[in-house]
Chain A
Amino acid sequence: MSKILIRGAKVLGGAPQDVLIDGEFIEAVGTGLSAEGAEVVEADGKVLLPGLVDLHTHLREPGREDSETVLTGTRAAASGGYTAVFAMANTFPVADTAGVVEQVYRLGKESGYCDVQPIGAVTVGLAGKKLAELGAMHESAAGVTVFSDDGKCVDDAVIMRRALEYVKAFGGVVAQHAQEPRLTEGAQMNEGIVSAELGLGGWPAVAEESIIARDVLLAEHVGSRVHICHLSTAGSVEIVRWAKSRGIDVTAEVTPHHLLLTDELVRSYNPVYKVNPPLRTERDVLALRQALADGTIDIVATDHAPHPHEDKDCEWAAAAMGMVGLETALSVVQHTMVETGLLDWAGVADRMSATPARIGQLAGHGRPVSAGEPANLTLVDSAYRGEVDPAGFASRSRNTPYEGRELPGRVTHTFLRGRATVVDGKLA
């Protein structure tokens, strides 16, 4: 069977319509479409979105297959409604050569749950000293266009300038993990009222903001575009807003957890809340939501960072930084953006699918839900309410900060080029 009729879906949250998939493509969108010869999925008022695209995922393979593999990570992605993920370069070995990015690309192809687009490291070994062979990674089978040392900041201003300039030759973009390293030595959490009380090393907002300010000015100077990973402070929002108003070619992402959680949670000393950049204050959270709504922040990216249980079942200082996010991202965005009235579903499609695909230059994803387009689609039961249960995750890791928290929305179907990867909330 190659035809699927999704009946009565609110396309981008609009009036119910039928969507007919034939093979890998959408054949028709309309009302009263014929179900003849098609398998029918009764959408029954669920919201239909283009398949989500995550510009910032840690799949951990090669090297840390105990926390995630390309296969388990893409299964988690499909469960969360994603049809494409960008795999970050901080693996072991680092994805800083054509060989490694091609390996990740091939594993993605084999997984079949969602497309995997590798990100290449900016510098050899993420060490920040010497440019990796960016051109070779671009020309490889993986076709890398996004480069990032994520996990580490490209802190050397000259290296950053050169990288921004160099990737222009093939239309690449550098995604910066903005963290001034000297200002964050020994940093354990956001520096402020809570860190002062808890006696945990502070990660000041200025360590992020100063790098972003520098990098937008560098991008302006050399006429390049720059992408800012996981922007987390109100001050960073102001800098990006200023840069955009000045015509600088900058884009920025925010994670779901920075849209919802604050550093008050660290009072529990539970390392499930330990993440980099750290959870900030209520004021930052509100500024980030507003910025995502008004387009200052372009996209939501998960920074899905799986870690084995033992790396979180310990004292705060010894714990790894990061949280899984692929399977809860859409729910958090519905909770923080849609249900607050800041963003409609068309806005969600833009921030979680169309724009990330555009920033990453990923063809075939983030397209409109209309005839002739690739059938990469996500069906969301937005009326659903339920507690997050990590035991049900497809990811190999369980380090979610939302365990037991009630969140809205559930992905019931995901289609990757016309093939269902998720059916009735279960992996196909």
Chain B
Amino acid sequence: MKRHLISAADLTRDDAVLILDTAEEMARVADRPIKKLPALRGRTVCNLFFEDSTRTRISFEAAEKRLSADVINFAAKGSSVSKGESLKDTAQTLEAMGVDAVVIRHGASGAPYRLATSGWIDAPVINAGDGTHQHPTQALLDAFTMRRRLVGPDAGLGQDLAGKRITLVGDVLHSRVARSNVDLLHTLGAEVTLVAPPTLVPVGVETWPCEVSYDLDSVLPKSDAVMMLRVQRERMNAAFFPTEREYSRRYGLDGDRMARMPEHAIVMHPGPMVRGMEITAEVADSDRCTVIEQVANGVSIRMAVLYLLLGGNEPALTNPRTEEK
């Protein structure tokens, strides 16, 4: 039994449902006057962030503190190489200080996997986003948000997302959120469709467990949730699309397009949003948009993951991919 969370693809359906159910418990803590559990008292968690990130780091920090863990924040902007110290040395230094778990965000795809499997450290590793590879806690909080909204907080307990039609729109090529979501949503029984200009869909996507469409308007009426991915304006300089305006016209979500979605359908965004690019203010600020809920749910999910990986004597998550190693 391994104790890492590296990729959403490593989670079984039962693992994922257990995390979502546990997160439901954790969400209740947030409603209490004293938002704290003693589960990780005396344990030290290090947030090792090699890439700028405000919301993910704060979310993990809030989750760790609500579980009474001691928190060390280590921010090392830029790559390990440009800093002069290697990832291995940094991680070993922190472990020598008595860290019980490492939450890592890194610009290089695979860095958390290397950290977990190279024998550099013994501590459990939680991937908080690596390059354009994976961001498993984001996928979990997205699934949690979908289950709450589309099934219900109480009705959803023990349930997956079977039959739900989820559409992800935007820069799939550079998106770890998209990769994690495709893996996890498929595991949870949802039907996933990716929508993007062909330039922003990776070569090799044909083996992913999802559909791919280049036409947003035809997919919207058949969606229970539409997740807009951030599109960086700089992408147009590398000829991924001609102009910001053309991107918005073809793939942006505005009020008219939102009206084509079924009435119960929700709009999601992992943030930070680029208003006017992939999403208009009208949509972002509407009741159907769950972006703020996702942030709140992120804390609950990360509490659940930390609790399950560190809280008990027996880790609750199986990890088939790292297990093979």
A318 within 8 A of B: yes
B205's nearest neighbour on chain A, judged by CB, is A196
Residue of A188, A269, A313, A315 contacting most chain B CB atoms (<10 Å): A315
A195 within 8 A of B: yes
Partner of B204, one of A191, A315, A318: A191
Asked if B207 and A317 make an inter-chain contact with CB atoms under 8 angstroms apart, the answer reads no
Asked if A315 and B205 make an inter-chain contact with CB atoms under 8 angstroms apart, the answer reads no
A156 within 8 A of B: no
Q: How far is the CA of A244 from the CA of B110 in the complex (A)?
A: 42
A283 → chain B closest CB, angstroms: 14
Asked if A191 and B203 make an inter-chain contact with CB atoms under 8 angstroms apart, the answer reads yes
Asked if B79 and A318 make an inter-chain contact with CB atoms under 8 angstroms apart, the answer reads yes
Q: How far is the CA of A196 from the CA of B325 in the complex (A)?
A: 21
Asked if A198 and B109 make an inter-chain contact with CB atoms under 8 angstroms apart, the answer reads yes
B321's nearest neighbour on chain A, judged by CB, is A267
A204 within 8 A of B: yes
Asked if B131 and A313 make an inter-chain contact with CB atoms under 8 angstroms apart, the answer reads no
| B residues near A196, Cβ cutoff 8 Å | 202-205, 207-208
Chain A 304-346 interface residues, beta-carbon cutoff 8 Å to B: 310, 313-318
B4 within 8 A of A: no
Q: How far is the CA of A269 from the CA of B134 in the complex (A)?
A: 13
Asked if B110 and A318 make an inter-chain contact with CB atoms under 8 angstroms apart, the answer reads no
Asked if A198 and B202 make an inter-chain contact with CB atoms under 8 angstroms apart, the answer reads no
Q: How far is the CA of A200 from the CA of B204 in the complex (A)?
A: 12
Partner of A197, one of B106, B111, B118, B179: B179
A160 → chain B closest CB, angstroms: 25
Interface residues on B, range: 20 to 34
A193's nearest neighbour on chain B, judged by CB, is B204
Q: How far is the CA of A193 from the CA of B88 in the complex (A)?
A: 29
Asked if A315 and B203 make an inter-chain contact with CB atoms under 8 angstroms apart, the answer reads no
Asked if A316 and B110 make an inter-chain contact with CB atoms under 8 angstroms apart, the answer reads yes
Partner of A313, one of B86, B207, B208: B86
Asked if B81 and A269 make an inter-chain contact with CB atoms under 8 angstroms apart, the answer reads no
A318's nearest neighbour on chain B, judged by CB, is B81
Q: How far is the CA of A317 from the CA of B113 in the complex (A)?
A: 13
| B residues near A315, Cβ cutoff 8 Å | 80, 87, 106, 108, 110-111, 114
A34 within 8 A of B: no
The count of chain A contact residues (Cβ–Cβ below 8 Å) is 23
B171 → chain A closest CB, angstroms: 12
B314 → chain A closest CB, angstroms: 27
What 1/0 mask marks residues of chain B from 190 to 232 whose CB sits below 8 Å from any chain A CB?
A: 0000000000001111111000000000000000000000000
| B residues near A188, Cβ cutoff 8 Å | 109
A213 within 8 A of B: no
| A residues near B106, Cβ cutoff 8 Å | 315
| B residues near A245, Cβ cutoff 8 Å | none
B318 within 8 A of A: no
B132's nearest neighbour on chain A, judged by CB, is A199
| A residues near B105, Cβ cutoff 8 Å | none
| A residues near B3, Cβ cutoff 8 Å | none
B176 within 8 A of A: yes
B269 within 8 A of A: no
Partner of B109, one of A192, A314, A317: A317
A196 → chain B closest CB, angstroms: 3
Given A192-B204, A196-B202, A314 and B80 contact (CB-CB distance below 8 Å):
yes
Asked if B133 and A198 make an inter-chain contact with CB atoms under 8 angstroms apart, the answer reads yes
B134 → chain A closest CB, angstroms: 7
Asked if A195 and B133 make an inter-chain contact with CB atoms under 8 angstroms apart, the answer reads no
Given A315-B108, A315-B110, A318-B81, A199 and B179 contact (CB-CB distance below 8 Å):
yes
A192's nearest neighbour on chain B, judged by CB, is B204
Chain B 62-109 interface residues, beta-carbon cutoff 8 Å to A: 79-81, 86-88, 106-109
Asked if A318 and B108 make an inter-chain contact with CB atoms under 8 angstroms apart, the answer reads yes
Asked if A269 and B114 make an inter-chain contact with CB atoms under 8 angstroms apart, the answer reads yes
Q: How far is the CA of A318 from the CA of B325 in the complex (A)?
A: 22
Asked if B179 and A317 make an inter-chain contact with CB atoms under 8 angstroms apart, the answer reads no
| B residues near A239, Cβ cutoff 8 Å | none
Asked if A268 and B325 make an inter-chain contact with CB atoms under 8 angstroms apart, the answer reads yes
| B residues near A318, Cβ cutoff 8 Å | 79-81, 86-87, 108
What 1/0 mask marks residues of chain A from 193 to 221 whose CB sits below 8 Å from any chain B CB?
A: 11111111010100000000000000000
Residue of B179, B203, B208 contacting most chain A CB atoms (<10 Å): B203
Asked if A198 and B110 make an inter-chain contact with CB atoms under 8 angstroms apart, the answer reads yes
B81's nearest neighbour on chain A, judged by CB, is A318
Asked if B204 and A199 make an inter-chain contact with CB atoms under 8 angstroms apart, the answer reads no
| A residues near B108, Cβ cutoff 8 Å | 315-318
Given A198-B133, A202-B203, A314 and B88 contact (CB-CB distance below 8 Å):
yes
What 1/0 mask marks residues of chain B from 110 to 150 whose CB sits below 8 Å from any chain A CB?
A: 11011001100000000000111110000000000000000
| B residues near A314, Cβ cutoff 8 Å | 80-81, 86-88, 114
